[in-house]
Every structure is written in C-alpha cells, then in structure tokens.
A and B are shown apart, each in its own frame.
Chain A
Amino acid sequence: MESQQGEGGTELDSQSSIWVNTGGNKMAALTTGFGRARQGGAGDPREYKAETAAGGDKLGGGGGGGDRGCSFLRKVSVPGSGGGGGGGGGARLRSIAGTRPSVQNGQLLVSAGLPALDQLLGGGLAVGTLLLIEEDKYNIYSSLIFKYFLAEGIVCGHTLLVASAKEDPGDILQELPEPLHDDNYKKVLDEGRSHKSQEEPEISMKIAWRYQNLPQMEAGPGTSSRFGHYYDVSKRMSQEVIQSAKWHKFFLPEEITSYANVESCALNHGYTKLLHFIQRVISEQGFDGSNPQKKQKNILRIGIQSLGSPLWGDDICCADTPEHMHSLTRFLYVLRGLLRMSLSACIITVPSHLIQNKAVTSRIRNLSDTVVGLESFIGSEKEANSLYKDYHGLIHIHQIPRLNSLICDVSDTKDLAFKLQRKVFTIERLHLPPDLSDTVSRSSKRDLVESAKQLSPGCGMMAGGKEHLDF
C-alpha cells in the first residue's frame, strides 16, 4: 500500500525515484563493500511498465495511493538488511557533503580541490582510490596541489589525515589557501584574463570562425554547484576554519624518536607505523562501517607528502640499486587495500624525478589509481623557450583508473600546461602559437620547430617539418 503519500504521485516522479534508488545502491556496493544492491530495484520498472500497458493511464490521484499503489510497490527496505547498507545506507551515502555521483559510471566522487583538475580526471577523484602526484623538481607546485586537496576537505567538512616527514602537518595546515565565494571568483578570473589581454588583444577569428565557439578548458562557478570550490592562493585560510576541522596528524620524526639503529636504517619502520596509524584512524572513526553509526557518514581525506624521499628512511631515491626496493611498493599495495575498504580518498606526492630505476617508477604508477605528473620549468632550459613563456610548467596525466568499466574518460589533449597566477592556479591546453610574421629570422623558426617536436601529435602538425618552405 502506501508510501505514495509523500511524493506527489505523478508517474514521472516515481520513475525518477526508481532511477535514483538503483543508482544509490550501486554506489553503496562499489565504494564501501558492504550492502548488496537491492534486487527489488530491478524489478520495479518492469512492474511499472506492465501496469501502464494494461491499465491505461493513471494520471494524478496523488492522495489516492490505494488505486495505483498495488502493483507498483515502492519498496522502502528495512535498513537492517545487510549490515548497515542497503536502501537506507544508499540514501545516506548520497548526501555526504562534498561528494557527488559520477555521470559516467555512478561512482561516488570527491573533488580534488582544483575544478580544472577534476575535469581532467573525469569529474573528480573516486572515493576509495589513490591519487599519485609525481613531484616537480623543487616540490613547489606539487605541494600546492596537495594543499588544495586538504583545503577542499576542510571546506566540505571531511576529516583529514596528514602525514609528512619533512614539515610538521600543523604547519602545512596553516598554509592552506583561502576559499573564495562564487562572486569573488569571477572577479579574480577576470582580473587574470584582463591582465593577459592587455598584452595581446584578442582577435576574433574571421577565417577559422567555427573554432570560436569551442568550450573553454575550465568551468566557472555555477556549472557544478557545490562540488568544487575555488581558492585564493595569495591568502591563507582563517584560523577559525582550520580549528573547526577535524584532523589527525602523523609526523615521522615525532613517531620515531630513537635513532639507535640509524646506521642500519630499518626502512619499513616508518611505513609500517604510518599504515598502523591509518588503519587505527579508519577503524576507530568508523570510516569502514565497522562500528555502525547513526550519525552522518563522512569521508576521510588522507594526504601523505613526499613519500619515498630519504626523509622517510627509504633509499629508492638515493641509490641506483636500492637495498629495500620493495618497501614503497608494498606500502602502496597495503594502503590501496585500506582505501578500498573505507570511505576515504588519498593523495600522495612522490619525488619520482629522484628515482633512478625506471622499473620502480612504473611499478609505483601501476599500484596507484590516478597518476598526475608535474614538470616545472624552474632552472631548466625550457624556461627560455618561447613556446613555454606564458606557463610555469607542464602537467601530464599518466593514468586514470577504470573503475567498474572497460574504458576511462581520458581527455583528448595530452599537452597541458599550468601556470600559477597571483591568486589562481590554472591548467590550460598548450597551444602552439601561430607563426604569422614573414620577417622572423630563420634561427628562431628552427627553435620553434624543434620545440614543437616535443609536443604530441594531438596538438596539430603545423610546424611538423624541419624545413620551412617559403613560397
């Protein structure tokens, strides 16, 4: 009988509620591992269709649930089925702050803090997965992305776990960027754009006019309402917000205080302690559903800085043939198991430019779900290259996970560059600038051609050949 009372009773409404329910159950099954998908959900559309075919239309009649309510039973399942999961859990999962289901495969996603990066990763970071950032040479921009991730966690109200061997996690939290409100972001972005347009006035395209309507890389606020937030890098997050956040810290020098056996570097020591710490937090705070709570479920955001660097006691970055080559890979394997069993998302930065053994790098990449590499131009010869003069570095998306599907949503451009403006970190497609002038001398044209060879073929073969033909 029944439960049509509350919902207005139109057919469309109940149909949409079927869709949403099965979606919710899919999410419950994938991300948490507990709570099976309700079998009843699949049955409902068929029952519903049979009814309309047979019985004609049954429009309206909201209050009269009795007439049409019989064959279509909206099954409000008892939350007691399946250990806290099921329909009740599904409804609650949908409403965790700061998450949303993916449009591709229904995964529960959290934002990585940068909406541009979310777009490149296929909507966001899936809950239960690991994001690996391969650091740039001086760890300037990768620590910025790390801080964006943590700041997003604070703004959404998630619990944080910050682990580091270099800086005290309390100091890291003091340096988080300040969140911007929607109207402020428009001003900041316009400021950035007007600054750029003072240098080169934007020419509306006359011949290639079809390309003018292509969508821009970044989505501004308002497209995805409460999912990604924008931050002002030049300001710090206020103390009240930071103190209102719930966070756990793991600082290696405090955890390992004895240096008795320092000469024989016990490598797994730091990693083992960190894993125990993470597991304790997950089980005590109930992120894996072990002590079922009636209160709102939340996401745990784990951030580990500079994993694999010598400060963690690991020598894969120092030695050509490291003694304990497998400690980091074992750590990642166990960590990913912990992540899959809980409602958490993890970001790790690894200084892979220091790792000499390429096999180790590819193993680390295989053991992570999403891999993003940063390459900054500081101190390298690329800084002087005219192709890169507007940008501060390149960003490479090495890997995107295929979760419960056969394909993943890889973006079509492989050449992406980032720049850190005064307030905003932007990621853009790298465009080869058109070579318009006729009186450019030959040597600089050759430089441009050489540098264009480093771009992948997706960027257009404009300057492909070495000889420049003059007609």
Chain B
Amino acid sequence: MLQILASRGDLVLLRDSVEWEGRSLLKALIREVALKGEQVQVLGCEVSEEVFREGLDSDTNSRLVYHDIFRDPQGWTGNWGPLGILRACLRGAEPGPCTLAVDSLSWLLLHAPCSALCQTLRALGHDNSHPGRVRVLGLLHEDVHGPGPLGALRSLAQIEVTVGGNLGFTTAQVFHPKPRHRSIEQTYWFSILPNFSLEFHKEPLLEPRPHRGPQSPTVDAMADLTFNVHLSKKEREARDTLALPFHFSSEKQQSLLHPALASSTSQIFYEPDADDYLDQEDPDDDLDI
C-alpha cells in the first residue's frame, strides 16, 4: 500500500461507494504522507474543516493546509468558482514534492463540467512550479455518477484504488495498468485504527464454500474396451516412419517411372465348380460386326 505513496504518478483515484466509505482511508493516507514531513494541501468540499481535522494528531494537522469550499459552496464571497480554488491550491505551496488531496472529486463533478475538471486536474499534475512531483489523491463516490464521467476520470488516473469491505476488514484493490501483462493489481486487507493509522492483515482464510452439488462421476470411456487403443513404443515408431500415400516421395517417383515387371506373386487360382458351365465357344461369335 505504501508503494502508492512512493510513486509520483499524477492522479490516484480512491473509489468508494455507499457500502464502504473511503474518507477514512484518505485521511490515513494523508497521515502517512504528513509523517514523512511533506505538506499536504487539502481541498474540502463535503465536510467542514473541524470534522475533517478531527481524529488526526496535531503533528499531521500542522502540516495540513486546508482550502475550504464547504463554508461557501456557491462562491458568494470570492470570485473564483470551485475549479479556480482547486487551481489556487498549489499556488501558495512550498517548492518540492507536493500532495493534494481532494475531498471529493464527486462534488466537483457535480458543480463543474467534467471536461473542465479533467483539464484542471491534468494541469495540476503538470504544474510548472513543481515539475513532476505533484501527486493528487482524489476521492470519488462511484455510485453517484454515470459511466461517462466515471470512465473519463478513470482514463485520466494512473492508479485506481477501490475501497470495499469484507468480514470486518477494509479492502483496497489497487490497480495500476501497464503494458505487456505487467499491470499491477493487488488487494490489501487492513483495518483503520482510530488515530487513522493503518494496520495490515494477511488475507483471511475464506470459509470453504459449500459444494455446488454432487458432480456426476466422469465416465472413463477407455476403461473396458475389448480392443487395444494405445500404441506401444515400437508401434508408434513404425507409425511415424510410415510414408503417407499422397506424399510424392522419390521412391514413388521411381516406381512410377520404372513400372515393376509383372511379378509372379500375383496369380489367380480357379477351381471350377460342379455347376459351372464351361463353354469354349465364345458367345460373341454370333455377333455380326
């Protein structure tokens, strides 16, 4: 999981759903990044700042730079729309590796055109003042959107993390597509502690699933044959060396060019039966040709 934090890809998409929320994972990742000493810019749209900061320790909180849209969602106090604020997030940041957490992209998708959002995200990732060192962690609620915007953001993202839950543990399926069957796809099982640190577990053993039903015994068709189907080794060799009848080999060519003399091996033996009438006359003599 920590490899996500190590990579400097542009956009990491955290997809959650109604069944299992992903904000706690986002906060846990922010905490990991902040513990390394980096500053984290947070754009908060869905929850207020107090709610977001709650649970994080003071060290992390001091490194969070919070840009609040929740206080003023319609932008009545400022001149910029939500995308303007998104772009302004990185302006005051210190130079160096930078992380921007967006909570959430769904809110931005609902309040701005999708193509403009994609262009802004791409421009953020390739910001000139932080060349190649910006990482954007975006939270996306996938059941809010149709396949269009979802597909557009997925094609823009380098890494996708799908948050789910099973058997009391949180799972994160990380997918990083790469060519030639080398795409990384891995599932992590962990639980998020109250202070938003991650505790990883090994994949719990699944209970043995019940059999789908008694399977019919496969009949071995080769069992009780009265003739031999298998070939011994000698027989196999003999079969391999056999010349196929329609292969025009040189021996065949020779035999055709020089027809063998009528060999004495083929003869017809005739024994006349009692009922046979052997007439020496040729019945065709009557014909008048």
CB-defined contacts of A318 to chain B, threshold 8 Å: 113-115, 118, 148-149, 152
Given A351-B155, A354-B155, residue A438 in contact with residue B179 (CB < 8 A): no
Of chain B, the residue at the smallest CB distance from A138 is B177
State which residues 293-332 of A face B: CB under 8 Å: 309-315, 317-320
CB-defined contacts of B120 to chain A, threshold 8 Å: 262
Q: A207-B244, A262-B81, A438-B221 are in contact. List 6 more A-B contacts (CB 8 A).
A: A140-B179, A310-B115, A313-B119, A315-B115, A353-B151, A354-B151
* B36 is an interface residue with CB less than 8 A from chain A: no
Inter-chain contact B218/A310, CB cutoff 8 Å = no
As a 0/1 sequence over residues 274 to 289 of chain B, the CB contacts with chain A under 8 angstroms (1 = contact) are 0000000000000000
A446 CA to B95 CA, complexed, in Å? 59
Inter-chain contact A139/B183, CB cutoff 8 Å = no
Nearest-neighbour CB distance to chain A for B180, whole angstroms, equals 5
State which residues 417-471 of A face B: CB under 8 Å: 420, 438, 441-442, 470
Given A351-B155, A356-B148, residue A378 in contact with residue B177 (CB < 8 A): yes
Inter-chain contact A378/B115, CB cutoff 8 Å = no
Nearest-neighbour CB distance to chain A for B277, whole angstroms, equals 50
Given A311-B115, A311-B122, residue A319 in contact with residue B149 (CB < 8 A): yes
A452 CA to B159 CA, complexed, in Å? 33
Inter-chain contact A379/B183, CB cutoff 8 Å = yes
Q: Could you write out 14 A-B pairs with CB less than 8 Å apart?
A: A137-B155, A137-B177, A144-B179, A206-B244, A253-B123, A263-B113, A267-B115, A309-B152, A311-B115, A318-B115, A318-B152, A353-B151, A379-B185, A420-B180
* B147 is an interface residue with CB less than 8 A from chain A: yes
Inter-chain contact B155/A209, CB cutoff 8 Å = no
Q: Which of A209, A267, A318, A379 has the most CB of B within 10 A?
A: A318
Of chain B, the residue at the smallest CB distance from A389 is B181
Nearest-neighbour CB distance to chain B for A35, whole angstroms, equals 44
Inter-chain contact A470/B221, CB cutoff 8 Å = yes
* A148 is an interface residue with CB less than 8 A from chain B: no
Closest 3 CB pairs of A and B: A318-B114, A310-B118, A310-B115
Inter-chain contact B146/A320, CB cutoff 8 Å = yes
* A186 is an interface residue with CB less than 8 A from chain B: no
Of chain A, the residue at the smallest CB distance from B149 is A318
* B222 is an interface residue with CB less than 8 A from chain A: yes
Inter-chain contact A392/B114, CB cutoff 8 Å = no
Inter-chain contact A317/B152, CB cutoff 8 Å = yes
State which residues 205-222 of B face A: CB under 8 Å: 218, 221-222
A319 CA to B147 CA, complexed, in Å? 8
A-B contact count (CB 8 A): 102
Given A209-B244, A253-B123, A351-B155, residue A140 in contact with residue B177 (CB < 8 A): yes
As a 0/1 sequence over residues 59 to 85 of chain B, the CB contacts with chain A under 8 angstroms (1 = contact) are 000000000000000000000010100
Our pick among A263, A309, A379 for the contact of B155 (Cβ within 8 Å) is: A309
Inter-chain contact A263/B83, CB cutoff 8 Å = yes
Nearest-neighbour CB distance to chain B for A261, whole angstroms, equals 10
* B35 is an interface residue with CB less than 8 A from chain A: no
Inter-chain contact A441/B122, CB cutoff 8 Å = no
CB-defined contacts of B119 to chain A, threshold 8 Å: 165, 253, 262, 310-311, 313
CB-defined contacts of B233 to chain A, threshold 8 Å: none
Interface residues on B, range: 35 or more
Nearest-neighbour CB distance to chain A for B22, whole angstroms, equals 20
CB-defined contacts of B177 to chain A, threshold 8 Å: 137-138, 140, 378-379
As a 0/1 sequence over residues 103 to 115 of chain B, the CB contacts with chain A under 8 angstroms (1 = contact) are 0000000001111
CB-defined contacts of A320 to chain B, threshold 8 Å: 146, 148
Nearest-neighbour CB distance to chain B for A127, whole angstroms, equals 31
Our pick among A209, A311, A356 for the contact of B118 (Cβ within 8 Å) is: A311
Q: Which of A139, A315, A379 has the most CB of B within 10 A?
A: A315
A141 CA to B180 CA, complexed, in Å? 9
Interface residues on A, range: 35 or more
A207 CA to B222 CA, complexed, in Å? 24
CB-defined contacts of B81 to chain A, threshold 8 Å: 262-263
CB-defined contacts of A392 to chain B, threshold 8 Å: 179-181
Given A139-B155, A315-B114, residue A354 in contact with residue B148 (CB < 8 A): yes
CB-defined contacts of B112 to chain A, threshold 8 Å: 262-263
A312 CA to B155 CA, complexed, in Å? 14
Inter-chain contact A138/B155, CB cutoff 8 Å = yes
CB-defined contacts of A181 to chain B, threshold 8 Å: none
CB-defined contacts of A315 to chain B, threshold 8 Å: 113-115
State which residues 198-249 of B face A: CB under 8 Å: 218, 221-222, 244, 247
* B258 is an interface residue with CB less than 8 A from chain A: no
CB-defined contacts of A49 to chain B, threshold 8 Å: none
State which residues 108-166 of B face A: CB under 8 Å: 112-120, 122-123, 146-149, 151-152, 155-156
Nearest-neighbour CB distance to chain A for B33, whole angstroms, equals 26
CB-defined contacts of A263 to chain B, threshold 8 Å: 81, 83, 112-113, 116
Given A319-B149, A354-B155, A379-B175, residue A310 in contact with residue B183 (CB < 8 A): no
A263 CA to B83 CA, complexed, in Å? 8
Inter-chain contact B175/A265, CB cutoff 8 Å = no
Of chain B, the residue at the smallest CB distance from A267 is B115
Nearest-neighbour CB distance to chain B for A149, whole angstroms, equals 18
A206 CA to B155 CA, complexed, in Å? 49
* A226 is an interface residue with CB less than 8 A from chain B: no
Inter-chain contact A209/B247, CB cutoff 8 Å = yes
Of chain B, the residue at the smallest CB distance from A470 is B221
Nearest-neighbour CB distance to chain B for A441, whole angstroms, equals 7
Inter-chain contact B152/A354, CB cutoff 8 Å = yes
State which residues 252-275 of A face B: CB under 8 Å: 253, 259, 262-263, 265, 267
As a 0/1 sequence over residues 199 to 215 of chain A, the CB contacts with chain B under 8 angstroms (1 = contact) are 00000001101000000
A166 CA to B157 CA, complexed, in Å? 12
Inter-chain contact A319/B148, CB cutoff 8 Å = yes
Of chain A, the residue at the smallest CB distance from B216 is A442
Nearest-neighbour CB distance to chain B for A343, whole angstroms, equals 34
Inter-chain contact A438/B148, CB cutoff 8 Å = no
Nearest-neighbour CB distance to chain B for A380, whole angstroms, equals 11
A432 CA to B114 CA, complexed, in Å? 43
